[in-house]
């Protein structure tokens, strides 16, 4: 079993849901990324999604795009990111999964990326630009290494295709809550509940919902039907405030925000 499988088994037994913050690696620098990860895990997050910056993100809104650009302008490299992850994972009470472009994996080398990521303590990867039809080579390597290959299903994914994607997913399914790009929303569509309910009947895998979640009322709406919730832009936006505020204050505000959402999840 992969580390992600073990995590969701523990959460299921405990009757709890996963909370997964998203952090952009290297924004504003690697040291602060490590501090943010430690802070959100210390506040009770179950796992953490680490965005590996690349120049052409296909589903990210302006907040995350800007964070990727800031990191790329600092010449952040994959090796340095994995070095940072490797330093913090031995003491981290939560798995890390990467949100990474297939182009980045391909340039690094598929077997080498999985080996290097595992050595750093990474438990899985979300590869948004890799269609299921073209993923068997990477999927086979991941299976052989107990490394989760997490796939996305969206509201516009045809149901037959959604079932196929689920059959080729390991770890958990990332269900995209809204049509469009990442970013904070004031409201989320009610049909998410029905869509996730249908998907749950098709697969035994945990289903985590992301995109647009930013408020306690979103968490209270979705936690009953999800196995986990993913929050990205609201955290990345707060990280960007280090340009105007002391780092310690920004870190505390991120921790308090995560604690607020966790309280809503457990209500």
Structure tokens at 19: 């909370």
Helix (H, G, I), strand (E, B) or coil at 51: strand
Enumerate the active-site residues. 49, 60
Q: Can you say how many angstroms the Cα of residue 195 is from the centroid of all Cα atoms in its chain?
A: 20
Q: Is 132 left (phi over 0), alpha (psi -120 to 50) or beta?
A: alpha
Q: Can you say how many angstroms the Cα of residue 28 is from the centroid of all Cα atoms in its chain?
A: 19
Q: Can you say how many angstroms the Cα of residue 223 is from the centroid of all Cα atoms in its chain?
A: 16
**Confidence at residue 189, expressed as pLDDT on a 0 to 100 scale:** 63
Contact 151, 210 (CB under 8 A): no
**Confidence at residue 184, expressed as pLDDT on a 0 to 100 scale:** 47
Contact 180, 188 (CB under 8 A): no
- The pair phi, psi for residue 148, each rounded to 5°, is -70, 135
C-alpha–C-alpha distance, residues 88 and 212, integer Å:
28
CATH of the domain at 49: 3.20.20.70
In this structure, what DSSP letter does residue 77 have?
Answer: -
- CA dihedral for 180, 184, 185, 191, sign (positive or negative): positive
Domain tally, the chain: 1
Between the alpha carbon of residue 33 and those of residues 9, 23, 27, 49, 99, the distances in Å are: 28, 7, 6, 12, 15
Q: How many CB atoms lie within 10 A of CB 13?
A: 8
* Domain span including residue 63: 3-266
C-alpha–C-alpha distance, residues 31 and 16, integer Å:
31
Closest CA to 178 of 149, 158, 150, 157: 157
**Confidence at residue 60, expressed as pLDDT on a 0 to 100 scale:** 63
Structure tokens at 115: 């080996």
**Confidence at residue 183, expressed as pLDDT on a 0 to 100 scale:** 44
Burial class (CB within 10 angstroms; exposed 0-12, middle 13-18, buried 19+) of 185: middle
Helix (H, G, I), strand (E, B) or coil at 24: strand
**Confidence at residue 181, expressed as pLDDT on a 0 to 100 scale:** 47
DSSP per position, 23-87: EETTSS-HHHHHHHHHHHHHTT-S-EEEE---S--SS--HHHHHHHHHHHHTT--HHHHHHHHHH
**Confidence at residue 126, expressed as pLDDT on a 0 to 100 scale:** 97
Burial class (CB within 10 angstroms; exposed 0-12, middle 13-18, buried 19+) of 255: middle
Contact 78, 105 (CB under 8 A): no
pTM assigned to the model: 0.93
Give, for all 267 residues of the chain, the pLDDT tens digit: 899 999 999 999 999 999 999 999 999 999 999 999 999 999 999 999 999 999 876 656 788 889 999 999 999 999 999 999 999 999 999 999 999 999 999 999 999 999 999 999 999 999 999 999 999 999 999 999 999 999 999 989 999 999 999 999 999 999 998 664 454 454 556 788 889 999 999 999 999 999 888 899 989 989 999 999 999 899 999 999 998 999 999 999 999 999 999 999 987
Contact 62, 43 (CB under 8 A): no
């Amino acid at each position: 079993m992969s580390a992600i499988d073990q995590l969701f088994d523990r959460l299921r037994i405990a009757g709890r849901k996963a909370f997964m913050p998203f952090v952009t690696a290297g924004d504003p620098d690697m040291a602060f990324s490590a501090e943010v990860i430690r802070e959100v895990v210390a506040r009770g997050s179950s796992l953490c999604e680490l965005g590996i910056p690349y120049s052409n993100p296909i589903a990210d809104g302006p907040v995350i795009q800007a964070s990727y650009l800031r990191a790329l302008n600092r010449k952040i490299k994959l090796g340095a990111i994995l070095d940072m992850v490797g330093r913090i994972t031995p003491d981290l009470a939560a798995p890390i999964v990467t949100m990474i472009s297939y182009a980045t994996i391909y340039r690094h080398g598929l077997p080498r990326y999985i080996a290097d990521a595992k050595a750093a303590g990474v438990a899985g990867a979300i590869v948004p630009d890799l269609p299921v039809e073209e993923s068997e080579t990477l999927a086979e390597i991941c299976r052989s290494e107990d490394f989760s290959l997490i796939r996305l299903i969206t509201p516009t994914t045809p149901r037959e295709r959604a079932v196929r994607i689920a059959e080729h997913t390991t770890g958990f399914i990332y269900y995209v809550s809204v049509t469009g790009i990442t970013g904070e929303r004031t409201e989320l569509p009610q049909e998410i509940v029905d869509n996730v309910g249908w998907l749950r009947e098709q697969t035994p895998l945990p289903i985590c919902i992301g995109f647009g979640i930013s408020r306690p009322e979103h968490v209270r709406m979705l936690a009953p039907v999800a196995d986990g919730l993913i929050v990205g832009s609201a955290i990345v936006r707060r990280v960007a405030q280090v340009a105007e505020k002391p780092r310690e204050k920004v870190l505390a505000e991120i921790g308090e925000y995560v604690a607020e959402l966790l309280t809503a999840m457990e209500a």
